[in-house]
Homo-oligomer: A and B are copies of this chain.
Amino acid sequence: MKTAILTVGTEILFGQIVNTNAAYLSEQLNHLGYDVMYHYTVGDNPGRLHDLIELAFRDCDLILTTGGLGPTQDDLTKEVICETMGDHLVVNDDCLAELKAYAARRNRVLTENNYKQANMPSRAIVLPNDAGTAPGFALERDGKWIISMPGPPREMTNMFRKQVKPLLQKWQDSVIYYRQIRTFGLGESLMETKLLPLIDGQTDPTLATYAKEGECSLRIASKRPTKEEAKAAVDEMTEKVKAIIGESIYSYDNEELVDVVGRILKEKNITISCAESCTGGLFAGALTDVPGISAVFERGIVTYTNRAKMEELGVSAATLDAYGAVSEETAAEMAEGLAKKTGSDLCVSVTGVAGPDPSEGKPVGLIYIGLTYKGKTRVTQVQRHNSSRKWNRNYAVLTMLHEIYQEIK
């Protein structure tokens, strides 16, 4: 079914928030076999919102909206949709009771403007919101549907999962199966050039590359009458791709690198600690985002000063004097010192110049990563060009993860 995602909110047009809702819904809809044709964003403006709904219905049979269901005066999505779909608002007793119960549970007083959230289009399927005060709804006109959800991502995703997804599963007509393959260290042009014999003239499965900083992904997708047929086509193509770029692939299942590394560490019961300088805790923060990692993650030390590097990790003053804090030698001593201190199976260290300014006469983007595993230490050097502080730090974390992956895969 052809679908449009319509996000309502002046704050998005002002650039105050990033539209993560559209990305989440797109991914979910694609999984369910719906074709997302457009994303639209419009402000809290009745005329333009009405026009975009009519426009979307020219091509699409389904519109998912997020935003504009809140209690404030500029929230008018419900009112506009109701009118556009030829319906009128009535007080919904269930919604009103829920709203009062929600406020009571949290010891909050309902303000006057909260009450309008209990009004609903008379023909709507009401979608309860157990994570906030704004219920959603589904409303039909001439066989076309609008499903309207609140804007805050936590409320929206919760409502989608519990209320909307089951509805969409009932309506579905064909099945897309896809696999997202992830690589590290391979540019997009090079990947496409290598895969050109597979991409050229291919209609199903389709292959599409896309690049993120430091990573490049490949999506293999097939749309068939049944899931089994689509999956078989994707599996067959996957084997062909593997034969060409298998060396660079770290996930056949769209896993983040940090999740792959976390999973292997847990499976093999390899304990890990880390010592960070330029990344300042981002590596530990990323790794501890993996649920259950506490079984193997022991300790992280952020040694931002030379004193901390000496006291915490036993890096020698002589090394810091001779080579500086950003050096192969310091990275090695950081990893080795951490291994001695913690006894963890694998110890990783990082020291570098994140920027914006050079340090110790060394250029921005120079990064050393140390890794001690099974009594051996090795150091990897990276030099980023024209890259921001933020991206130097993020790329350092990615490279640390990839070095660990190479070691334990």
Contacts and interface: CB of A to CB of B under 8 A. Distances in A.
Interface stretch (A36-44, A240-248, A314-322): A36-44
A22 to B, nearest CB: 7
A15 interface: yes
A22 B302 CA distance: 35
A280 B291 contact: no
Interface in A205-262: 208-213, 217, 219
A119 to B, nearest CB: 16
B301 A305 contact: no
Contacts of A294: 304-305
B14 A26 contact: yes
B291 A299 contact: no
B289 A302 contact: no
B280 A282 contact: no
A403 to B, nearest CB: 18
A70 B188 contact: yes
A26 B283 CA distance: 31
A43 B289 CA distance: 32
A283 B282 CA distance: 9
A98 to B, nearest CB: 15
A291 B211 CA distance: 28
- Size category of the binding interface on chain A: 35 or more
Interface string A375-408: 0000000000111111101000000000000000
A163 interface: no
Interface in A23-58: 23-30, 36-43, 48, 52, 55
Contacts of A24: 15
Contacts of A172: none
Interface centre among A23, A212, A385 (most CB of B within 10 A): A23
Given A10-B208, A41-B39, A388-B154, A279 B289 contact: no
A275 B97 CA distance: 44
A16 B111 contact: no
Contacts of A114: 189
A270 interface: no
Given A213-B154, A284-B280, A291-B389, A15 B28 contact: yes
14 contacts: A11-B210, A15-B22, A70-B188, A71-B188, A112-B193, A152-B211, A154-B387, A276-B281, A279-B288, A280-B284, A280-B289, A280-B300, A288-B304, A297-B304
Interface of A: 7, 9-20, 22-30, 36-43, 48, 52, 55, 59, 70-74, 106, 108, 111-114, 130-131, 152, 154, 180, 187-190, 192-193, 199, 208-213, 217, 219, 274, 276, 279-289, 291, 294, 297-305, 307-308, 312, 342, 355-356, 385-391, 393
- What 9 pairs across the A-B complex have the smallest Cβ distances? A280-B288, A15-B27, A281-B284, A300-B302, A15-B26, A281-B281, A39-B41, A282-B285, A281-B285
